[in-house]
């Protein structure tokens, strides 16, 4: 997500500063445009990062630790990487840059089983931590008059996601597997519905919401159209032209992880900002497959393990 956002900002002529939490883990920052200034949090003084935050007009705080399964296994690490990190950014802005706009990507997982519930009921440590970050943003908005914006994002797909292991970004991983002629494993009947959206549409939502921070607080982002996991997997195979969808039983250890249906209600963001999502998933799948072919040839993929 960060790669695509940085590229869009550079294309608009913005002065961009990117902060990576760990240079040893994410070697793909070298793929960022050369005009982007990169700070490695594990290699530089915290004051340098604070200064970068204090001198920015808009802050897109995408840093964190993703993954529902990972958060069940490492809840404390998820709490630190997500909640404490976001709280720190808000505090720096409150003390040194109160006029900045702070945009935070939350997750549709905060809703839990009911996407239309008045109050979210998150069902995993990761979703809880995302919701806590939302509350921090609202607290600083109401207490210190900071301009904070929260986007609840479903499942983005698109180029520049270099991690393709099974624990991260399953929808992009399906495209990677199909590109290599591998099986796409769907657990159960794959009937649970997701709102899958192109990363380019998400980036445009970031940009328009940052400009409308005075009227936007928390918004749902998505295509507003659901697709079952099984149908999505088959669409990937048909679009890429290789691969095969295979159904297997749910693993025993899946019981602790929530599987829910979700389709975003995008009426608010569309009405307030004029933003519209790209509804063509095939185009996003094609662009992502082309990226994985290029990244594979150039040995840029991370933690791929065995291809098939």
The confidence score (pLDDT) of residue 247 equals: 92
The confidence score (pLDDT) of residue 30 equals: 47
Per-residue pLDDT averaged across 130-139, rounded?
Answer: 96
Question: Confidence class of residue 21 from pLDDT cuts 50, 70 and 90?
Answer: low
The answer to whether 203 and 4 are in contact (CB under 8 A) is: yes
Q: How many CB atoms lie within 10 A of CB 39?
A: 18
Q: Cα–Cα–Cα angle for 19, 23, 27, nearest 5°? A: 105
The confidence score (pLDDT) of residue 258 equals: 52
Per-residue pLDDT averaged across 255-279, rounded?
Answer: 84
The confidence score (pLDDT) of residue 63 equals: 82
The confidence score (pLDDT) of residue 302 equals: 66
According to DSSP, the β-strands at 37-40 and 17-20 are parallel
Per-residue pLDDT averaged across 88-102, rounded?
Answer: 93
The answer to whether 62 and 19 are in contact (CB under 8 A) is: no
Q: Which of 189-193, 249-253, 286-290 has the lowest mean pLDDT?
A: 249-253
DSSP percent split of the chain into helix, strand, coil, nearest 5:
45, 15, 40
Architecture of domain 158-198+225-263+280-308: Alpha-Beta Complex (3.90)
- Distance, in Å, from the CA atom of 60 to the CA atom of 45, rounded to the nearest integer, reads 20
Alpha carbon of residue 262 to chain centroid: 16
Q: Which tens digits make up the pLDDT trace of 221-245?
A: 999 999 999 999 999 999 999 999 9
Q: Which of 10-19, 136-145, 159-168, 224-233 has the lowest mean pLDDT?
A: 159-168
Query: What's the token pair of residue 289?
Result: 């497959």
User: What pTM did the predictor assign?
Assistant: 0.89
Question: Confidence class of residue 29 from pLDDT cuts 50, 70 and 90?
Answer: very low
Q: Is the pLDDT of residue 168 over 60?
A: yes
Domain extents in the chain: 158-198+225-263+280-308
């Amino acid at each position: 997500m960060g790669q695509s956002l940085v590229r869009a900002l550079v294309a608009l002529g913005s002065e961009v500063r990117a902060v990576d939490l760990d240079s040893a883990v994410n070697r793909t920052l070298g793929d960022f445009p050369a005009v982007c200034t990169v700070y490695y949090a594990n290699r530089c003084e915290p004051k340098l990062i604070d200064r970068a935050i204090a001198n920015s007009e808009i802050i897109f705080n995408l840093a964190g630790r993703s993954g529902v399964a990972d958060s069940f296994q490492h809840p404390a690490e998820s709490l630190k990487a997500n909640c404490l990190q976001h709280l720190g950014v808000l505090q720096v802005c409150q003390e040194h840059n109160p006029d900045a706009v702070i945009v935070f990507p939350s997750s549709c997982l905060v809703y839990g089983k009911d996407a239309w519930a008045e109050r979210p009921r998150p069902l995993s440590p990761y979703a809880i931590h995302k919701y806590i970050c939302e509350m921090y943003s609202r607290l600083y908005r109401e207490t210190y008059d900071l301009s904070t914006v929260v986007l609840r994002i479903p499942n983005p797909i698109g180029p520049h996601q270099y991690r393709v292991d099974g624990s991260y970004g399953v929808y992009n991983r399906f495209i990677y597997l199909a590109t290599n002629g591998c099986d796409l494993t769907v657990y159960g009947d794959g009937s649970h519905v997701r709102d899958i959206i192109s990363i380019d549409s998400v980036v445009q939502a970031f940009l328009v919401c940052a400009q409308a921070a005075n009227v936007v607080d928390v918004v749902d982002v998505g295509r507003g159209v659901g697709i079952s996991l099984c149908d999505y997997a088959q669409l990937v195979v048909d679009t890429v032209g290789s691969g095969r969808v295979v159904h297997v039983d749910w693993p025993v250890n899946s019981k602790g992880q929530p599987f829910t249906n979700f389709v975003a209600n995008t009426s608010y963001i569309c009405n307030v900002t004029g933003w519209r999502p790209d509804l063509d998933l095939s185009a996003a799948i094609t662009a992502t497959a082309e990226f994985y072919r290029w990244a594979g040839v150039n040995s840029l993929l991370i933690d791929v393990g065995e291809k098939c």
